[in-house]
C-alpha cells in the first residue's frame, strides 16, 4: 500500500518512530510529510535522530501563526503532495493542526484517511485539539483506537465501521526507548536530582499558558511542590512567561527550568521521578506505563483509564488543590494493560495490509 503519513508535532514524531518502521518492514511504501508545525531542533530533529525515524520526504515549514493560517498552509501543501504522490491512504496521528490538515486534504480528494489515536475525547470543545479530533474521526475510513473506551466514544457518535482497537503506539516507542535510555549516561544524576524524590513537570496547553493568572498559579504550584521539580519548558510556555513578565516566579531553588529534552532523557526522568505534573496527553500515559503517579493540570483527561485506576489525578489549575493532591499522591496496587502491550505498530500495519 502507498501511504502518505503526516507528522508535525512532538508527540507525532514519537508515534511515527514505532509505526514508520513497522509499515516499511511490512512492505508498505511510505511518503513521510513533516508539516513543520514544530521546528526547533529540541522539538523536532532530536526525535528523528534519537529514535531513528526516517528522514521526511517533504517539509512544509508551516509552523507558528494562528490556527487558520497554519492549518491552511498545511492543507494546501498536503493537497499538492497527495495529487503528486497518489497515495492509497493518508495516515494522520493524534489531534494537532497537522492531523486536521492531513485529514481534510485527503478527504476532499477522496483518498481514504487512517487516523491513529481515534476516538479520544475530552468533551471540551474549547480545546482546539477536540475540534481536530472530532473532525478527523468523522472523515476517516480507518480508525485506530488505543482502547475500548475510545471505540465506545466513536460508537456514541455513530462511527462503527473501520474501527480497530490496536493499543497505543506511544507504548511501543516507550518500551524500545526505555532499554536504550538505561544504557546512556543519566541526566538525573547529572542534574543531582534525588531518585524518587523529584517531580517532572510540563505545561503547554493554550488554556494554561495563554492566561496570565492561570500560568502564575501553575508556576506557584511547581515552586511549592515540596520537592525539586524539573521543568523542561515548551517554547509556547517560555514565550508566555516572558510576555507576562513572570520570570521572577521561576526563581526558586526547587524549580529546575531547562529547555525541552530529547525522548531518551525524558524516559530517564520518568524512570526516576516521584510524580509527574503535566497538562500533556502523552505524558499522562507514559507516567502510567512507568508506574509513576500523575497529577494532571487540567479539568479533564482523555485518558480516563489512567484516572479511574487511581494513577492519574485531575487537579485542574487551582494551586491549592494541586498542592494538596501532590502531598497525597500514592501508588495504587493494580496496574492493568489499558493500552495494549506495545504491539500497536504491528497491528496497524497488518490491518492496513489486510485492507
Q: Return the active site residues.
A: 204
Distance CA 346, CA 294 (A): 28
The grid coordinates of residue 47 equal 526525535
The DSSP 8-state label assigned to residue 225 in this structure reads S
Beta bridge partners of 310: none
Report the side by side order of strands in the sheet with 294-296.
255-258, 229-232, 199-202, 275-278, 294-296, 312-314
User: Looking only at residues 227 through 246 of this chain, which bind ligand UDP when binding is defined by CB under 6 A?
Assistant: 232
- Candidates 8, 11, 63, 167: give the one binding ligand UDP (CB under 6 A): 11
Which C-beta is closer to ligand UDP: that of 37 or that of 349?
A: 37
Q: In angstroms, how far is CA 66 from the centroid of its own chain?
A: 20
Residues ≥6 apart with Cβ < 8 Å to 141: 89, 112, 113, 114, 162
The least distance separating ligand UD1 from the CB of residue 66, rounded to whole angstroms, comes to: 9
244 makes contact with ligand UD1 (CB under 6 A): no
Closest distance between ligand UDP and the C-beta of residue 12, in Å? 8
Least gap, CB of 38 to ligand UDP (angstroms): 8
Nearer to ligand UDP by Cβ, of 105 and 294: the residue is 294
Contact 102, 90 (CB under 8 A): yes
Q: Are 81 and 107 in contact (CB under 8 A)?
A: no
Phi, psi of 294 (to 5 degrees): -120, 140
Residue 8 touching ligand UDP (CB under 6 A): no
Is residue 263 a contact residue for ligand UDP (CB under 6 A)? yes
- Binding to ligand UDP (CB under 6 A) within 197-216 occurs at 202, 204
Using CB under 6 A as the binding rule, whether residue 124 contacts ligand UD1 is answered as: no
Stretch that binds ligand UD1, among 31-39, 160-168, 182-190, 250-258 (CB under 6 A): 31-39
Q: How many CA atoms, within 13 angstroms, populate the side-chain half-sphere of residue 334?
A: 9
Cell of 156: 456514541
Q: How far is the CB of 63 from ligand UD1 (least distance, A)?
A: 6
Q: Which triple of cell numbers denotes residue 225?
A: 511542590
- Could you tell me the smallest distance in angstroms from the CB atom of residue 296 to ligand UD1? 13
CB of 245 or CB of 253, closer to ligand UD1: 245
Give CA angle at 130 (88, 162), nearest 5°. 35
Binding mask 52-81 for ligand UD1 (x = CB under 6 A): -----------xx-----------------
Neighbours of 199 (CB within 10 A): 26
Q: Output the nine-digit C-alpha cell for 23.
A: 509499515
Choose among 355, 235, 183, 211: nearest CA to 297: 211
Is position 102 an interface residue for ligand UDP (rule: CB under 6 A)? no
Work out which of 14, 22, 149, 154 binds ligand UDP, going by CB under 6 A: 14
Judged by CB under 6 A, does residue 10 bind ligand UD1?
yes
Rounded Cα distance, 280 and 282, in Å: 6
User: Least distance in Å: CB of 234 to ligand UDP?
Assistant: 6
Q: Tell me if 122 contacts ligand UDP by CB under 6 A.
A: no
The answer to whether residue 146 forms part of the interface with ligand UDP (CB under 6 A) is no
Question: What stretch of H or E contains 102?
Answer: helix 97-108
Near ligand UDP by CB under 6 A, which window of 52-60, 183-191, 274-282, 338-346? 274-282
CB contact at 8 A, 11 and 283: no
Site string for ligand UD1, 84-113 (x = CB under 6 A): -----------xxx----------------
Chain positions contacting ligand UDP, by CB under 6 A: 10-11, 14, 202, 204, 232, 260-261, 263, 266, 280-283, 286
**Which residues bind to ligand UD1, rule: CB under 6 A?**
9-11, 37-40, 43, 63-64, 95-97, 128-129, 204, 235-236, 239
Amino acid at each position: 500500500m502507498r501511504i502518505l503519513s503526516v507528522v508535525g508535532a512532538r508527540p507525532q514524531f514519537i508515534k511515527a518512530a514505532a509505526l514508520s518502521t513497522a509499515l516499511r518492514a511490512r512492505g508498505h511504501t511510505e511518503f513521510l510529510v513533516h508539516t513543520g508545525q514544530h521546528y526547533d531542533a529540541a522539538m523536532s530533529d532530536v526525535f528523528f535522530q534519537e529514535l531513528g525515524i526516517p528522514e521526511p520526504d517533504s517539509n512544509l515549514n508551516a509552523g507558528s501563526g494562528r490556527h487558520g493560517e497554519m492549518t491552511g498552509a498545511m492543507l494546501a501543501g498536503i493537497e499538492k503532495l497527495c495529487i503528486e504522490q497518489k497515495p492509497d491512504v493518508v495516515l494522520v496521528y493524534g489531534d494537532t493542526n497537522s492531523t486536521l490538515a492531513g485529514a481534510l486534504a485527503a478527504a476532499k480528494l477522496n483518498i481514504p484517511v487512517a487516523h491513529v489515536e481515534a476516538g479520544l475525547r475530552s468533551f471540551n470543545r474549547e480545546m482546539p485539539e477536540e475540534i481536530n479530533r472530532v473532525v478527523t474521526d468523522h472523515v476517516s475510513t480507518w480508525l485506530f483506537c488505543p482502547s475500548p473506551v475510545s471505540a465506545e466514544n466513536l460508537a456514541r457518535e455513530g462511527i462503527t465501521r473501520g474501527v480497530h482497537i490496536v493499543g497505543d503506539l506511544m507504548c511501543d516507542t516507550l518500551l524500545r526507548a526505555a532499554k536504550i535510555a538505561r544504557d546512556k549516561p543519566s541526566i538525573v544524576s547529572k542534574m543531582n536530582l534525588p531518585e524518587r524524590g523529584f517531580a517532572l513537570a510540563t505545561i503547554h496547553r493554550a488554556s494554561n499558558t495563554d492566561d496570565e493568572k492561570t500560568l502564575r498559579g501553575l508556576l506557584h504550584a511547581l515552586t511549592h511542590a515540596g520537592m525539586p521539580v524539573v521543568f523542561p519548558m515548551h517554547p509556547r510556555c517560555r514565550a508566555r512567561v516572558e510576555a507576562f513578565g513572570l520570570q521572577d516566579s521561576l526563581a526558586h531553588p526547587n524549580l529546575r527550568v531547562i529547555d525541552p529534552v530529547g525522548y531518551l532523557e525524558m524516559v530517564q526522568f520518568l524512570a526516576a521521578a516521584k510524580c509527574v505534573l503535566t497538562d500533556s496527553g502523552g505524558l499522562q500515559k507514559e507516567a502510567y506505563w512507568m508506574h509513576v503517579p500523575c497529577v494532571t493540570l487540567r479539568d479533564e483527561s482523555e485518558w480516563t483509564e489512567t484516572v479511574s485506576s487511581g494513577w492519574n489525578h485531575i487537579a485542574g489549575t487551582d494551586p491549592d488543590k494541586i498542592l494538596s493532591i501532590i502531598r497525597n499522591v500514592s501508588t495504587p496496587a493494580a496496574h492493568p494493560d489499558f493500552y495494549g502491550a506495545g504491539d500497536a505498530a504491528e497491528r496497524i500495519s497488518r490491518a492496513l495490509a489486510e485492507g
